[in-house]
Structures are given as C-alpha cells and as structure tokens.
Amino acid sequence: MTFKKVIFSPLFQLLLVMIFASTCYSYLSTNTVRFFLTVSACLRETLVFILPFLLFSFVAVALSAIPKEGMFFVLGLMVVVFISNFLNVLVSGAIGYSILSGAKACQTPEAKYIFEPFFQPYLPRIAETTHSLFVGIAVGLVNSLRPNKSVTIVIKFIHDCVMKFIKNFFVPTLPIFVGGYLLKLFSEGRMTGFLGQNIGLCAMTCGFLWCYLGMWLFIAASFKLDRAVEIFKNMFPAVVTAFSTMSSSAALPFSLKAAAKNTGDKVLSDAVMPLTVNFHMVGDTIVVPIMAMIVMLAFNHPLPSPSGFLMFGACFVLNKFAGGGVPSGTIMVTVPVLIECLNFDDSMIAFIISFYEVMDPFATSGNVAANNLFVVIFQKMRKVIKKRLSAGIKHDGKFAEQN
C-alpha cells in the first residue's frame, strides 16, 4: 500500500480524528463542540434518509442480473448463505452473553453535562429500511424472470446515484461524522478508560473468531491435518490481502485461485466465490454482535433480551445482502437495525462505527477465510446431495422394474 493510499484510507483518517478528539476536546469551547456535533447530526440524518434507496437498489440490481436459467442455483446459494450468517450471529450472541453477562468493568460514567446540537435535523422517511429491502428482493426477482428494460434503467439509475453519494460525499465525510460524536463523548467524560477496560474483550473477540474459523478449516479438511495445512496455505495470500486492504473484493482474485486449488473444480469456484464474497461475511456476523453488546454496556444499557437479539440477528443478516461493494457497507447498513432493534442513540452509533473501523481488518480477513472454506464445504455438501439423489433414482428404478 502506497503512502498516498494510507493517508486517504478511512481507517487512517478515523485514527487521526480519534487522536484529535481525545487530546484536544478540553481546549475547545462548548459552542465549538456543539457545532461539530450539529454537522455530525446532519450527516447521520442524511445517511438514514439514503439507506432505504441503498438497500432497495443494491438488492434489486443484484437479483436482476441473475440469468433465468441460473435462478434456482443462485437462490439456493443465497438461502444457504442466509442460514450460515444467521447461525454465526447466534453463535456470536451466545459467546457475547457468556462473556458480558453481569460485566460492569466496561461501563462508562454518567455524563455530568449533556452536549446537544444547535438544532435537530430531520428528513422525511421515504420508507422503512426493512420494507425497502423486501421490495428490492421482489422487484429484482420479477425483473430477472421477466426482464423489463424500463425497470432495469430505473433501478440502475437509483443504484448509480446512491453509489455516487456514498463514494463522493459520505465516505469522505465519515471522519467528520464520527468526530463530532467523539468530541461529545470525550467532553461529557464518557470515553474515559473505555479502551483500556475493553482491550481484553476486543482481543477475546478476535481470538474467538479465529478459533471458530479453525473449526471450519478442519471441517473443510475432513479433520485431516495435512489437508488442513494445504487448504490454509492456498488461501493465505487472500487472507493477508483482505487484512491489509480491508476489502473482500480486493482479495477476490487470490480467493478464486485458492478456491480452484482447494476444490479442484474451477467452474464451481468461479460460480460460488463471486456470489458469496460480498454477502457471506462470517467475520462480521461474529464480530459486530459482540461489539454491539460491548457498546451497550459501555453506555449503561442492559444486554438485549433473547427475543430482541433474535430480531436483531434476522434483520442484520437480511441487510447483509445490501452492504456488498459499499465502502464501510457492513456497518452502514447495520445502523438502522441497531437503532430499531437495540435502541442505539447517535453517540452509540458514532462509537460503534469508529470501533468497527479499528476491528475491520480482522473481520474482513475472517470473511475472506470463511468464504474460501465455504466453497470447499459447499462442494462436499453438493457431492453428498448428488449421491443421495442418484441413489434414490436408482432405488425407484429398481422398485419400478420389480413391479
């Protein structure tokens, strides 16, 4: 990575903002903090306004691009990915509850003075995020089965507008968005000691992620050590690329090469890997729920009830299908889920975004490692299903001959 790319990377800029907020907040006047907080509130409201368009357009464009003859394969694969993501969230929730239940060390002190923006911005809600996601799925499926040029043009136009907004406006202003809320948290004294108290929890989360992926590795290798070493060796360049770039897409060429080697089936790996690279995110589904719980405790909120966590998990996994290809897409599409299901406020949203950016290299490399292993496991599942189907057909044939 060149020096220019490092300087302009979101992670580097967010780190600078965090350093600035933590060292300079005491020198800023109340009105200065409120000014930056007002800017952050405006950016947050803009993000919430644009998210339904993002969810609708990304899902509709992706499903519209599926050829009619490949519909059942792709939908079947998406169902498997959804189930895998949801099970990962449940595993993450179980670990989070076991680690954090009754934890008090990570709580922040109550603020003596609450900083508020000069005004509360408001943009009308065009649609609920969940509704827009389901509408996008319906429109995409219908347009795939019965292609309509006008519909394709409209959803592509919305998609292009959203992408331009995200890339040219929101991502460049992301450090400002986070910075305003961080200044508020530091000025209120609610950030004191958080990182020092929770660094162990962050390390435990990353450690659990890689232990969990180790289990996947041995399942993919049929519990054979030499085969596990071979699979890991093939996918290592993709994992390193993902860690350094924080992008699953950047690691895709290495993942395709590794998947072809690990499966011995280039056609299968070329079909499965590109479809899952932006949707099947094991690293995120393990890391983000635990992070959300840590932030809830940090802001003196109780952990969610089991039913509340299940609702969060289902919405979180559904939204994963709309985060692919968007810079900081995972945490951005999770914002409305955190607000609606876990009652996150603006400060908590800003905190988890900056928190996620620090954890992103570990989560993204986990995503890429899991997708490489998923292709191998998917191939095994496919072979078993084919074998059982062919055995059933032969059995039916013999039964027909006997009768």
CA distance 249 to 261: 19
CB 156 within 8 A of CB 83: no
Q: What is the DSSP letter of 49?
A: H
What's the pLDDT score for residue 8?
Answer: 67
- At residue 178 the predicted structure's pLDDT band, cuts being 50, 70 and 90, is confident
What's the pLDDT score for residue 379?
Answer: 87
Q: Is 341 exposed, middle or buried (0-12, 13-18, 19+ CB in 10 A)?
A: buried
Residue 323 φ then ψ, to 5°: -95, -10
Q: Is 110 exposed, middle or buried (0-12, 13-18, 19+ CB in 10 A)?
A: exposed
Quote the mean pLDDT of the chain: 81
Query: Do you know the residue count of the chain?
Result: 403
- At residue 286 the predicted structure's pLDDT band, cuts being 50, 70 and 90, is very high
Per the model's pLDDT, the better-predicted residue between 99 and 11 turns out to be 99
Cβ-proximal residues to 339 (8 Å cutoff; 6+ apart), any chain? 48, 349
Please say if the pLDDT value at position 35 is more than 90. yes
What's the pLDDT score for residue 105?
Answer: 44
CB 334 within 8 A of CB 319: yes
Write out the CATH class of domain 3-106+126-402: mainly alpha
CB 361 within 8 A of CB 368: no
CA-closest candidate to residue 337, choices 310, 364, 357: 310
